[in-house]
Structure 1
Amino acid sequence: MSGTGRTKGGRGRLGSVLSGLVVAVGCVLFLGGFAWGAVVYKPFTVPTDSMAPTIEPGDRVLAERIDGAEVRRGDVVIFNDKTWGDLPMVKRVVGVGGDKIACCDAGGRMTINGKAVEEPYLHSKDPASPTGFTAVVPDGELFLLGDERMGSLDSRRHLEDAGHGAVPRSAVSARLDAVAWPLPGALVGRPQSFADLPGGVSQPGPVTLVLASVALGAALILGGAAYGPVARAVGRRGEPAAPSPRVTADA
């Protein structure tokens, strides 16, 4: 065997080993990302338009499993409460224990402890509420409103209840981080309007890292698997053409 043949064979074996390693790493990232996401997040389909325009009816969302103690103002959460029908619901937290919520000021804005709050997630022409209200949130509870204030059935509807429309923190099971479907999806941001209030806003969950792990893993698997066919095709193009047989005439 010539030196050139041995070199090509060595390169081919090295390439196969490296491509296999790339596929293995891709599988770890791909499957690990899915496993991580399954532990940290639960999918949920939003059935109504009460959170429009942030979340439309039928949107498939990723909600981080959290304890109610972690909830901050501005979070969009999933919760169950018997007073509200004992069904999973999605609303935005606008007040926590001790807050005095009032609406609306002269500019049509909601106030928290006397401070007007801008709400960029609402439809641009909608007031913070079509009807005025005032509530004091009991300790350990949350005041929740839908982003579609004209029709959302939220804490305003339950103001006459014992909790003045609030629900216990323990009722919360998850916090929305992203809309996964329809594509291309979108992250559910933390409104900075609440950042200056005591407690600030919550930090996003690891949804970006989870999705990056899955996407990178898929790319490595496809790239590693494609190496063999591509290398063989390139090798065939680089081989010298077979000589044509000579034809001789009889004497």
Structure 2
Amino acid sequence: MDTEAQHMERDRSSGPADGTEEGSRFTHVPDRQAASMSWGRAVFMGMLCTVALLLFSSFVLQPFLIPSGSMEPTLRVGDRVLVNKLAYRFGSEPVRGDVVVFDGTGSFVQETSGGNALGALVRGAAASLGLAEPAGSDFVKRVVGVGGDRVVCCDKRGRLEVNGAPVDEEYLHPGDRPSDVAFDIVVPEGTLWMMGDHRSNSRDSRDHLGQPGGGMVPVERVVGRVDWLGWPLGRIGSLEGTTAFAGIRPADADHG
């Protein structure tokens, strides 16, 4: 009995002198270094995701904020559309009726140099994510004439003609005529004749007839085709196509 009592007493005396239990010496203390590493990892992942989104929007699908009413009713001010940048990457070219985004430098706007490079970079990144209005040189219009086409406005019934065939443009803004400006042009190969759907509120190829290039947009300046509406919620979906140009003969058939 004495031996057992002594053994139990020795067990009690082997603990800390202040009477606390051994486990209490391992109370949790916030690890500032681990928290810092976790925060740094989150920032890195955020930057990585942003870079991935920028690359995706640069080469595949780019959001584009509609800044004006020149394409109403098809596209409205504040709409965010998704531009398919792969649409013309593998040998395909824009066709009549396509709604496209293009760089109007040299055709719709004069080439400029200088400016705030950093500001332009930040603005360009925001625009590529659909968070800011596009650069002043970016436009969205409908392709009305392709290389070789003869585009005339207007016939005796006030309709647009392409290669001698009248075009019933059902997409025009209600009350608008095909054009208040008469023109008769042949589109050079490798270029496009662009017009907005809201003809009375659109500065397009017609406004540059007397300027170098005659309002023609080089095909290589096309950024991509507008295929989807991404905002607002009530308008989300694919952009409705048009059959207005379905009966147009090829340009060589008209001129041959």
Higher helix share: 1
Mapped pair 1:46 → 2:66 = yes
In structure 2, the residue matched to 1:195 is 246
Among candidates 93, 96, 112, match of residue 73 of structure 1: 96
- The answer to whether the 8 A contact 1:117-1:194 is kept is yes
In structure 2, the residue matched to 1:133 is 183
> Secondary structure in 2 aligned to 1:194?
coil
AA at the equivalent of 1:110:
L
In structure 2, the residue matched to 1:57 is 77
| Backbone CA RMSD of aligned residues | 2.3
Which of the pair has the greater relative contact order for Cα pairs under 8 Å at 6+ separation? 1
In structure 1, the residue matched to 2:201 is 151
Q: Calculate the TM-score normalised by the size of structure 1.
A: 0.61
Partners in 2 of 1:175 and 1:59 — Cα distance?
15
Partners in 1 of 2:214 and 2:185 — Cα distance?
6
Runs (5+) with no aligned partner, structure 1 = 1-33, 200-251
In structure 2, the residue matched to 1:101 is 151
Partners in 1 of 2:102 and 2:226 — Cα distance?
11
Partners in 1 of 2:94 and 2:160 — Cα distance?
20
Among candidates 143, 160, 179, match of residue 229 of structure 2: 179
User: Which stretches of structure 1, 4 residues or longer, exceed 6 Å deviation after superposition?
Assistant: none
Deviations 1:151-190 (A, max 9, x none): 2000000111233221100000110012111112242222
In structure 2, the residue matched to 1:6 is none
Of the two, which has the highest radius of gyration? 2
In structure 2, the residue matched to 1:116 is 166
Deviation at 1:44, TM superposition (A): 0.5
Deviations 1:125-161 (A, max 9, x none): 2210122112110111000000110020000001112
Partners in 2 of 1:51 and 1:153 — Cα distance?
10
> Secondary structure in 2 aligned to 1:170?
helix
In structure 1, the residue matched to 2:105 is 82
Taking only the aligned residue pairs, the percentage that are identical comes to 43
Number of positions where the alignment pairs a residue of Structure 1 with one of Structure 2: 166
> Secondary structure in 2 aligned to 1:82?
coil
